Amino acid sequence: MYSSRYIQIKNPLGFHTRAAAMISQKAGQMERTYGARLYISLEGSGNRLPMSSFLAMLSTPVRDGDRIEVMVDGDEPEKVLDEMTKFIESCFEAEDAMQIDSLLQEASVTYERIFENVPSGIVVLDMNGVITLFNKAAERISGLSADMVIGMSYKTVLPNWPLEEVYAEGKTYMGMRLELNGAAVLVNISPIFSTSRMIGIVSILQDMREIDKLSNELDSVKEMENRYHNMLESVHDGICLVDSDGIIAYVNPAYERITGERYDELIGKSVYDVSPGGARATALRLRKPILGVIGTKPNGVRYVADLNPIFYGDRFMGVVSVIKEVTEIQDLTNRLNEEKARAEYLEQELKRSQKLDEAFNIIVGKNGKLKEALSIASKAAAADATVLIRGESGTGKELVARAIHFASKRKDKPFIRVNCAAIPSNLLESELFGYERGAFTGAVNQKPGKFELANGGTIFLDEIGDLPPDMQVKLLRVIEEKEFERVGGITTIKVNVRIIAATNRHLEDMIKNNTFREDLYYRLNVVPIFLPSLRERKDDIPVLVEHFLNEMNKKMGKNIKYVTNEAMKALVRYEWPGNIRELQNIMERCIIMTDKDFIDMDDLPMYIVGYKPENSTLINFDGGDLATMEEYEEEIIRLALKKYGSFNKAGKALGLTHKTVAAKARKYGIVDSNEQDLK
């Protein structure tokens, strides 16, 4: 049980240091005399402190007019309270002590401030093992409040600390790793002595988490520094770091190699001494970048340098200079130029080999064989060479001849076509070379021939394989001498004509049979171009179909939109002996005939619908899906008709009447519907 009493403090300095010292000393005496314990509490604080502890008393912020509660336990509490009340009141009365109080108070407030604001935790214990001071940093580190722990025994708050030993032996402990309310702390513990008497213990604590954090940061800074250092050491460019005072702080090995100056000769020297008018000194003075400085080092090496100021925030730290050997840059530039020229050359070559002249756009198709032929034609066009175009009828020989002409330098001059097979042989000479008026020719007028008309341009001699032998000789002369006479004429006419010939005939066989002159063949065959048949480029059929559909829609004012899949399959299956001309004709016929806005099987001619490739046979059980009965039947009728040549014979062979065979042949489109019999 405690007895207590309230006392109001009446002093402008409040509970000042001298009073605290006197009261705590008096409390100590009374505790010993009366065997009692005395406590003090500032009214409203709820905090009870041992009165005999000077530090505890000091840390109680009692102001003028505040009330304190004095609590006592023991046998004669009232007596103790009377005596203590009187003593406290007397402490604040002595007028002459006012000045000393002020000085003491100032010193005490100063220390209090220091204690509160130092970043390290401070815990002070009195000789009774009671915590008398617990500063803000100690609160932050431990998470405990000073109000709570002041007045408590160290045994409760600091259970595993070696305080027993400090009290017993006055020993000091430095750098101990301990715990405070679960927080790891690094602690220095020392006894406090006053005039060789131990009056308490002070512990200074550091938060281990903060220390760990700092040490981690330090490690990563070190690691980063190491990394940058390695980087600088291994770069190919020379690097020199100069601090803000102009002292050379670092050069990398590349800098030593380029300049021939050694690290230990450079480090610590001032650039203002080494090279006062140099770029580094200038960059230091200006604190601005200086780029592309060209100079020569004492070892004769020409270099180019870039200098940049280094700032840390707003703080100027110095200058970094990066240098490269000019010869090295020159070498690199030369190599780069060489590579650029090579790349340009290759690019042009690639374009030349790939890109066809626009004139070839009229030729539809993507097939590889066709593209190859057109690529040769495009090159021949530019070279003005004589060209011999080979290919089956309808493969586009004339189209290619025109493209060659329009892709050549002669494109603004005439393109003259002569179909050698279509002109009777007796007229061919005058057709080619013209004729003169006169008795000999019987002509009333004179007429220029195709060669004259083509002067400056191109003459396209189609079906050259049909040229009669006498004309072959005359043509050879024009090719070799570029001159001729008109029929019945005596004047020699000179012409500059490019010849493109074409044929679907096997000229080599004709040479063997002596129907085509070998010398003319070699004159014409300077650049041979072989156009593939349509069956060799079936992959182009869909694009050609689309092309003709568009072209003819325009020409005929129709709007046929597409060809059904089934019809397209039939078109692709067919072998096209007449090549693209045949396809063009079929498309024209379909477009004229159809009433729909698409083309399907009904629109295609029967021989295309019913076409089956020669060697395809359905009756094959080796693998794949079986065909339908109807398909087998169609196959059997087709083979029988092919083998026996008539409905009658095929019927006999198959055990059917000739009427049945005919009906089935019509059904499957093997024969035309109005065909009566095959005999």
Question: Of these, 584, 599, 604, 640, which contacts ligand ATP (CB under 6 A)?
Answer: 584
The answer for 463, left when phi > 0, alpha when psi is -120 to 50, beta otherwise, is left
- Is 365 a binding residue for ligand ATP by CB under 6 A? The answer is yes
Question: Of these, 398, 452, 536, 575, which contacts ligand ATP (CB under 6 A)?
Answer: 398
- Estimate to the nearest angstrom the gap between the alpha carbon of 634 and the chain centroid: 60
In terms of CB distance, is 244 or 393 closer to ligand ATP?
Answer: 393
- Is 504 a binding residue for ligand ATP by CB under 6 A? The answer is yes
Q: How far is the CB of 601 from ligand ATP (least distance, A)?
A: 24
In terms of CB distance, is 91 or 527 closer to ligand ATP?
Answer: 527
Q: Classify strands 315-325 and 238-243 as parallel, antiparallel or unpaired.
A: antiparallel
Phi, psi of 598 (to 5 degrees): -145, 170
In terms of CB distance, is 430 or 584 closer to ligand ATP?
Answer: 584
CA dist list (Å): 169 to 137, 193, 197, 250, 435: 28, 13, 13, 54, 144
- Is 395 a binding residue for ligand ATP by CB under 6 A? The answer is yes
- Estimate to the nearest angstrom the gap between the alpha carbon of 132 and the chain centroid: 67
C-alpha radius of gyration, the chain, whole number? 58
In terms of CB distance, is 70 or 418 closer to ligand ATP?
Answer: 418
In the range 143-202, which residues lie near ligand ATP by CB under 6 A?
A: none
Sign, CA torsion 456/462/464/466: negative
- Is 378 a binding residue for ligand ATP by CB under 6 A? The answer is no
In terms of CB distance, is 394 or 434 closer to ligand ATP?
Answer: 394
- Is 391 a binding residue for ligand ATP by CB under 6 A? The answer is yes
- Is 396 a binding residue for ligand ATP by CB under 6 A? The answer is yes
Q: How far is the CB of 535 from ligand ATP (least distance, A)?
A: 14
Question: Of these, 363, 604, 608, 609, which contacts ligand ATP (CB under 6 A)?
Answer: 363
Ranges assigned E (strand) in 82-150: 121-126, 131-134
Question: Of these, 364, 511, 526, 606, which contacts ligand ATP (CB under 6 A)?
Answer: 364
Sign, CA torsion 89/90/92/95: positive
Per-residue b or e along 201-217, where b marks 16 or more CB atoms closer than 10 Å to that residue's CB? bbbbbbbbeeeeeeeee
Take residue 337 and report the two structure tokens written for it. Answer: 């130029």
- Is 652 a binding residue for ligand ATP by CB under 6 A? The answer is no
Q: How far is the CB of 534 from ligand ATP (least distance, A)?
A: 9
- Is 356 a binding residue for ligand ATP by CB under 6 A? The answer is no
| Helix/strand/coil for 173 | strand
Q: CB under 6 A: which stretch of 269-277, 522-530, 580-588, 660-668 binds ligand ATP?
A: 580-588
In terms of CB distance, is 328 or 398 closer to ligand ATP?
Answer: 398
Q: How far is the CB of 542 from ligand ATP (least distance, A)?
A: 13
In terms of CB distance, is 121 or 394 closer to ligand ATP?
Answer: 394
Question: Of these, 157, 580, 670, 678, which contacts ligand ATP (CB under 6 A)?
Answer: 580
Take residue 647 and report the two structure tokens written for it. Answer: 């409905």
- Contact call for residues 64 and 10 (beta carbons, < 8 A): yes
Question: Of these, 127, 202, 385, 399, which contacts ligand ATP (CB under 6 A)?
Answer: 399
Q: CB under 6 A: which stretch of 120-128, 171-179, 475-483, 579-587 binds ligand ATP?
A: 579-587
- Quick note: the x/- pattern for ligand ATP over 544-563, rule CB under 6 A, is ---x----------------
The answer for 522, left when phi > 0, alpha when psi is -120 to 50, beta otherwise, is alpha
In the range 445-474, which residues lie near ligand ATP by CB under 6 A?
A: 462
Sign, CA torsion 267/269/274/277: positive
- Long-range CB pairs of 78-81 (<8 Å, 24+ gap) are 78/3, 79/34, 80/30, 80/34, 80/36, 80/38, 81/3, 81/4, 81/5
- Is 290 a binding residue for ligand ATP by CB under 6 A? The answer is no
Q: How far apart are CA 669 and CA 659, in angstroms?
A: 15
- Is 393 a binding residue for ligand ATP by CB under 6 A? The answer is yes
Alpha helices by DSSP H, 526-674: 541-556, 565-573, 579-593, 606-609, 629-644, 647-654, 658-667
Site residues (CB under 6 A) for ligand ATP? 363-365, 391, 393-399, 462, 504, 547, 580-581, 584
